[in-house]
Amino acid sequence: MRLSPHAFEEPKARAVAWLTAWDSQGIHRTGTTGDEAGALWLTQEAAGFGIKVASEAFALDRLDPVACYLELDGERISAVPAFDAPGTGIDGVVGTLSLGDRDEAILAAKLSPRSVYTGEYDRLRRDTAHRALVIICTGARPGMGLLNAERFRHPYGAPAIHVSSEASETVLAGAARSAPARVVAESQYLPTTARNILVAFSGPRRFSPPLVVMRGGGLVCWLESLRALIAAPPACNVIFTANSGHELGHLGLDDFMVRRPGWELPISEGGATWIHFGANIGAAGGELSLQSASDDLRRLTEIEFGRAGQAPDIVAPKTLVPTGETRDIHRAGGRYLTLVGSNPLFHLPQDRWPHAVDTEVVTRVAAAAAALVVKLTR
């Protein structure tokens, strides 16, 4: 039976309040003041439910850009470094712009934020024939759509920078005529820490496999699921984790898993069940995807989302390897469910509340997600 529209009135008000607060904190880049503001706010919000909230800190050397640009025809085009590429120093790297991967050239390539998960991008980055790589950001909308730094702790390849899609015509014209250019990517590393926020429930069935509820971008789903388990305490152990470091190769998740070895394995080998609320859930103009290699999780998810009137737009093949936090769990044969959305403003700075969010969708998805989490803990 479908839920009544009136059932979503209070959850919608909560979603609006949470998203308004989150957006007001600014950029949540790992290890920055915005990241810490988000962690503090989430701690206070969860503690306001009357439960104990913990955190686990991890160390990193934060990369802070000093000067980053492409110099072409005497003009400087503002840029952002690839955070897992080596820097150039203040003098930069000089060469001729090229659309082909010629020796000692500065290669220009149009890439979307999702390119980071492709073999072609990895090849471009590892190829040391070119002196530098200029990534022309290419998303569904104009702007500076940065690529994640999957190997942040181990920079590799030639120096690489991002330029906005709005500079595309200028850069491509320069590359077509092999114009001389200079790439500057001067940065510094600052030792700092970031932290994961955790809430743990101890159920009476202590020896049952634990359930991990993991938040990527799914802030509203995570908080609504937390509220639901407070109202209906779980029978098994459950841990909610909101991890920092997503854009840097999942640093926070790596730290979480190091502290809990084997949880990524199949249930028969001591693993956990993972529920991941990923990026872009409820994005305006987006589609919701369900990913899981487990038939029962897929079936139960479709039932609960049908009751909420928000069926997934896409049910991915069981063999599809996730691109986000559950990627390694899938490869280890673990039990997981990922909910992730698409977004025409993916990784763009204009992806902000309220215009980038479909409040009705995110409210219904969160209601279904909370009901799903409760059923998985019975």
Q: To which residue do tokens 């390119």 refer?
A: 115
Please list the helix, strand and coil fractions of the chain in percent, rounded to the nearest 5, in that order.
Answer: 35, 25, 40
Tell whether omega for the bond before 312 is within 30 degrees of 0, i.e. cis. Answer: no
Q: How confident is the model at residue 206 (pLDDT cuts 50, 70, 90)?
A: confident
| DSSP H or E segment with residue 80 | strand 80-81
Tokens read off for 263: 């949880």
User: Is the distance from CB of 53 to CB of 242 less than 8 angstroms?
Assistant: no
Tokens read off for 123: 């090849």
Q: Could you read off the pLDDT of 221-235 as tens digits, one per residue?
A: 999 999 999 999 999
pLDDT of residue 104: 84
Task: Inform me whether the pLDDT recorded for 311 exceeds 80.
Answer: yes
Task: Inform me whether the pLDDT recorded for 203 exceeds 90.
Answer: yes
pLDDT of residue 158: 95
Inter-residue long-range contacts of 7-10, CB under 8 Å, 24+ positions, other chains counted: 7/367, 8/360, 8/363, 8/364, 8/367
Q: How confident is the model at residue 355 (pLDDT cuts 50, 70, 90)?
A: very high
Tokens read off for 200: 């743990």
Q: How confident is the model at residue 129 (pLDDT cuts 50, 70, 90)?
A: confident
- Closest by alpha carbon to 337, among 349, 348, 324? 324
Please provide the average confidence, as pLDDT, over all residues in the chain. 96
Q: Where are the alpha helices (DSSP H) in the chain?
A: 9-24, 33-47, 119-126, 168-176, 219-231, 251-258, 295-307, 327-331, 359-376
- Closest by alpha carbon to 108, among 166, 54, 45, 178? 178
Q: Where are the alpha helices (DSSP H) in 134-234?
A: 168-176, 219-231
Alpha-carbon distances of 236 from 137, 144, 233, 334, rounded to whole Å: 45, 44, 9, 18
Indicate the pairing of strand 180-201 with strand 238-242: antiparallel
- Residue partners of 207: CB distance under 8 A and separation at least 6: none
Q: How confident is the model at residue 1 (pLDDT cuts 50, 70, 90)?
A: low
Q: Where are the alpha helices (DSSP H) in 89-137?
A: 119-126
> Rounded to an integer, what distance in angstroms lies between the CA atom of residue 8 and that of residue 27?
29
- Closest by alpha carbon to 271, among 317, 211, 326, 186? 211
Residue type, 221: C
Q: How far apart are the first and last CA of the chain?
A: 20
pLDDT of residue 359: 97
Please report, rounded to a whole number, the percentage of residues in the chain having pLDDT higher than 90: 92
Tell whether omega for the bond before 354 is within 30 degrees of 0, i.e. cis. Answer: yes
Q: Strands, E, within 84-217: which ranges? A: 93-98, 106-111, 132-137, 160-163, 180-201, 211-215
Q: What is the pTM of this model?
A: 0.95
pLDDT of residue 213: 98
> Rounded to an integer, what distance in angstroms lies between the CA atom of residue 321 and that of residue 152?
21
Tokens read off for 191: 């030792």
